[in-house]
Structures are given as structure tokens and as C-alpha cells.
Structure 1
Amino acid sequence: MTTIESLAGRAAAGTLYGIGVGPGDLRYITLRAAALVQSVDVVAFFAKRGLQGNARGIVAPLIAAGRHELRLEYPVTDEVPTHDAAYREPIARFYEESGDLLAAQPRQGKSVGLLAEGDPFFYGSFMHMWRRLDTLFPIEVVPGVTGMSGAWTRANAPITWGDDVLTVLPGTLDEAQPTRRLGDTDAAVIMKVGKNLEKIRRAVTAAGLLERAIYVVRGTMAEQRIMPLADCNDATAPYFSMVLIPGQGRRL
């Protein structure tokens, strides 16, 4: 009989895994990711102070009671602008300290899986660990379904057609940048909405794309909300939200 373990394999000793757990719906996790979550010696995850951690929440049904877990708690998140020294200095120290904590596990011969929402190599904190630890011991990165892929699927919005060019923009950019870049692309995804929602709405409007823009909150999760951006009256958005601007392509 074929099992998940026989298809996807188990964790190897002394290895760090960056495990992409997908956009929120556990059913979208890969076989390899599910097998590793259940077989690594240590399950590690990032979390905001006082919260469970979204990646940890996604895979909660796969983690048996008593598992060895390593919680890495951010000292600061979106309450401070990312370009501010009050953000950059403590977060840099945090990543250094987290790298040391993670490195201690493979050095003891243990396998450790660091969970990542979506894909580990797409706007993920895992990348800061990979940069610090990649030459020290074996690391395997397990790709995951990105949040934007889950969002446009749930919104029933094909994002690119034919030769459409897709641009992915962080909402933290200065307002002039998304306005300019939106005017030079066929389709777009705007990430990191949060407190930048009003700025993003102005940029989308200035680019003449408001009628095509779709606002997605917590795509594929239980609290999912999807609506035209033009109908959204929110002043700010949750962290897990994005704006989609589907391409129109050439009709065949």
C-alpha cells in the first residue's frame, strides 16, 4: 500500500528543512511538506508576540501532542515601518539569535523543520535563516503553494493570459512606485497590504485600474473575504491580505 511516507520520505538527521505550508488551507500542503512536519525531530516556527503563528496554525492537525517545538517570536512586526532603525536593528538581532537557535539542532544530529507560510523563498522569513546557515549543514527547501496563487484561485480570477506580464509589488513601497509600475504591467499582485491599504487604493486608482482590482483577505483560510477593491471600505487590512489585478490578455 502506498503511504505518504513512502511517497515523500522522512526527515534526515542533521538537516534543516524550510517547509512551505501553503496559503492557509491544509489541503493545499504538499506530500513532502506533510511528511516532514510529521517526521522532523523539531518543528520550528516564527510567531508574533501573543499569537500562535500562522504557519504553525496551518499544520496544527499534523502535530501530535508532545512534539518538540521551537517558537521564534518576533520582537517587532508591522507596528514599525520596515525602513525605520527601530525595526531594522531589533529584527536583525532577532534573525541572528534565531539562526543560532536553529543551528544548534542539526549540530546535535537532529532534524529541524522551519515552517513558512506560502513558499519559503517568496517574501519569507526563512530566507534570512537560509542566508545565515546555508553553508553550515544540509538544508532542503520544500516549495509551497504561494498565498497569491491561493488568492487568485479562490477569487476565480485567472491572473495572466498569453503574453501578459505579471508584476508583484510590496505595499510598503513609496506611493509613486506602485503607481508607476502598475502603469507598465499587464497584471499585478500587491502584497503586504496591512496599514498600506489607503496608499495602495490611491495608487491603483491613479493607474486607472480600480475597476479590475480585487481585494482578498486571508485567501483559502476560514476567515476568507473577497470583494472588488472599489467596494472595500476598510481603512487598514489584516496582515494576510493582498490586491489582485488580473491581466486581460488577447482573446482567442
Structure 2
Amino acid sequence: MTGTLYGLGLGPGDPELLTLKAHRLISGAQVIAYPTPDTGESFARSIAAAFIPDTAREIPIVIPMRSERFPAQEVYDSAAEEIAAALEQGQDVVVLCEGDPFLYGSFMYLYARLAERFPTEVVPGVSSLGAVTAAAGRPLIARDEVLTVLPATLPEAELEAQVRKSNAVAIMKIGRHLTKVRDLLEGLGLAERAVFVSHASLPEQNVRPLREAPETAPYFSMIILPGRDAHV
């Protein structure tokens, strides 16, 4: 008998937004894996830290945080091998994921490598979309409006084309792309409706109109453009 692989959504950052199922699986974990930068602490681990058993074996998945390309496939190949070894020994492995595992989540790369070989369960988490709109106090879509979720990493022309044809927009992965996105929305006359949110649900949460956003933004920030029918 092999162990079971769990892709566990942790929510946006506030430990109180963990699901009961996530709390149960973390508290009883034999092996816990999580993404971590090559410098600094793991955000995923910090969310779950209070619930990780002292007896649990930890597998950090070290991901370089640099703008230039790095051998991502090798990182996930190596992590998958180490996780597979634990599963083959009959140990369950809990992989911690910020937000939801399948919404821009890195767990999908481990899932692709392991799900056909081992019993696997994906445990959804509160997504950053829900956390950001709650923090902003702004409904995002209503009635028959359509929500478009975009990564700020898109080329500017493609980003503009997508925004132009959308009712409501959530732009994720802002980081170093803040100026590009702000200028684009200003040029389209949409900045007045846009809201900037960073670190949703955390003590350092920052919510403000886009025109009052800081000059730099963390990776975990988002700009939302609510639909015209979505209002309070």
C-alpha cells in the first residue's frame, strides 16, 4: 500500500481561513512539502506553521526568486522524486499551497508527475480572488457579467485586448508589472473603477484606489476592475 498525496489549499494567508479539512490533514501529517524561495521563509509554511506536528518530516521545494529563467522542470522533477519515495514507503504526503492548488498553483506540476502513480486528493482553499474582493468591500460581478482573470505578466498588447473586451477583470501577479497595468488602465479610462489590494487577509493588508497605489507592489497583490452592475 502506498501513501496518499494531498494538494492542500491554505487560503490567502490568514490561518483562520484554513478549511477544517486542511487543518485536520496538516495536524496529522507524516510528511509535509511546500514551496520556498531560495532566500527568506516559505509563505505557505508560515500560514500552516502553528499546526505542523513536531514529528512531521518536511520537504522544502526551493524555487529561485529571480527574474531570469531557472530550471523549473528540474526543481519539480527533484521534488516529485523525493515525494514519491515517501509515498512508496506508505507515508501520506501533504503539499502546502497558497490560495487554491489549481488556481495558478504550483501543485499542478507535482500533480502532473505523481497523480497517475499514487492516490491523490486535491483539497481546495479560499482563493485570493475571494480574499481580495472581501478586503476591498467591493462585489466583483453581478447578473450576467463575465469575469476575466488575467496575469499581469502578459505582454501589454495582449493584456489591453483582454481588458477591452471584458465586463469585469481581476489582474493577478502584479509585482513589478504595476506601472504597466496602471498606465494601461489609465489609458483606457478605467482607472477610476480599479482597486489595488496587496496581502489580502494579512495584518499588512493594503487596500486603496488604483490611483493611490504605491509605486512598487509585492507579487501577492491584485488589481480588480468590478463590473458596472456590481455595486453596493
Q: Same fold (TM over 0.5)?
A: yes
User: 1:133-152 CA distances to partner (integer Å, 9 max, x unpaired)?
Assistant: 11001000000000121011
2:141 to 130, 139, 160: 160
Structure 1 residue 50 displacement after superposition: 2.4
User: 1:32-85 CA distances to partner (integer Å, 9 max, x unpaired)?
Assistant: 1110011121111000012221111111111233432111111x23x225xxxx
Structure 1 residue 91 displacement after superposition: 1.1
Task: Name the structure 2 match of 1:249.
Answer: 229
Task: Name the structure 2 match of 1:80.
Answer: 67
The alignment of Structure 1 onto Structure 2 pairs a total of residues equal to: 232
Q: Does 2:214 match 1:225?
A: no
Q: Does 2:90 match 1:103?
A: no
Residue 31 of structure 2 contacts residue 91 of structure 2 at CA under 8 Å; is this kept in 1? yes
Residue 179 of structure 1 contacts residue 206 of structure 1 at CA under 8 Å; is this kept in 2? no
Q: Does 2:178 match 1:197?
A: yes
Residue 47 of structure 1 contacts residue 71 of structure 1 at CA under 8 Å; is this kept in 2? yes
- Rounded to whole Å, the distance in 2 between the matches of 1:157 and 1:178 is 23
Counterpart amino acid of residue 198 in structure 1: T
- Rounded to whole Å, the distance in 1 between the matches of 2:221 and 2:153 is 13
Give the structure-1-normalised TM-score.
0.88
- Rounded to whole Å, the distance in 1 between the matches of 2:75 and 2:110 is 11
Q: Does 2:219 match 1:239?
A: yes
Q: 1:146 to 1:184 in 2, by over 3 A?
A: same
* More displaced 10-residue stretch of structure 1: 115-124 or 64-73: 64-73
Counterpart amino acid of residue 72 in structure 1: I
Give the structure-2-normalised TM-score.
0.95
Residue 2 of structure 2 contacts residue 118 of structure 2 at CA under 8 Å; is this kept in 1? no
**Percent identity of equivalent pairs:** 39
Task: Name the structure 2 match of 1:134.
Answer: 115
Segments of 5+ residues of structure 1 without an aligned counterpart are 1-11
- Rounded to whole Å, the distance in 1 between the matches of 2:128 and 2:172 is 9
Q: 1:65 to 1:40 in 2, by over 3 A?
A: closer
1:171 to 149, 152, 170: 152
Residue 29 of structure 2 contacts residue 52 of structure 2 at CA under 8 Å; is this kept in 1? no
* More displaced 10-residue stretch of structure 1: 116-125 or 93-102: 93-102
Q: Does 2:31 match 1:67?
A: no
Structure 1 residue 183 displacement after superposition: 1.0
- Rounded to whole Å, the distance in 2 between the matches of 1:45 and 1:131 is 16
Match of 1:237, SS?
A: coil
Structure 1 residue 203 displacement after superposition: 1.7
Superposed structure 1 runs of 4+ greater than 6 Å apart: none
Structure 1 residue 13 displacement after superposition: 6.1
Residue 41 of structure 1 contacts residue 111 of structure 1 at CA under 8 Å; is this kept in 2? yes
Task: Name the structure 1 match of 2:95.
Answer: 114
